[in-house]
Amino acid sequence: MSLLMILKIAGVSLQFGLASGVTLLDMLAYVLKKGIDFSTKLSIWVYRLISRIMSALGLKVAKDINISVIFIRHIFRILKERVDSLVQFATRSIFNG
């Protein structure tokens, strides 16, 4: 993806920047700052989602937890196993009950 495409997606016009005395580096810094802000907000929502899933599973949520891909995969695996067991229970009670 070219720099012009990234700037266009971010809503920054190259002509406007050059006409107003804002340099390309200023615009790039602005775009990168927006990316950091977005990733920070997204990481907060990911942490909240994982915390809610853990609470629903009856797991304790530590404050200093390091959320990695392996950890998220582990939590999702526990959630899947729990859902699978509930589906099996429901299926058995429908057909055996």
The pLDDT confidence band at residue 9, using thresholds 50, 70 and 90, is low
pLDDT of residue 97: 67
Task: Kindly tell me if the per-residue pLDDT of 68 is higher than 90.
Answer: no
Q: d(Cα 48, Cα 52) in Å, to the nearest integer?
A: 6
Query: Please, which residues have CB within 8 angstroms of residue 68's CB and are 6 or more apart in sequence?
Result: none
pLDDT of residue 19: 52
Cα–Cα nearest to 50, from 70, 74, 75, 69? 75
pLDDT of residue 15: 53
For the chain, the domains span: 3-96
pLDDT of residue 4: 63
For the segment 17-61, what is each residue's pLDDT rounded down to a tens digit? 445 566 778 887 888 888 888 998 998 898 899 999 999 999 988
pLDDT of residue 82: 94
Query: Please, which residues have CB within 8 angstroms of residue 94's CB and are 6 or more apart in sequence?
Result: none
pLDDT of residue 2: 65
Tell me the two tokens of residue 96: 């055996």
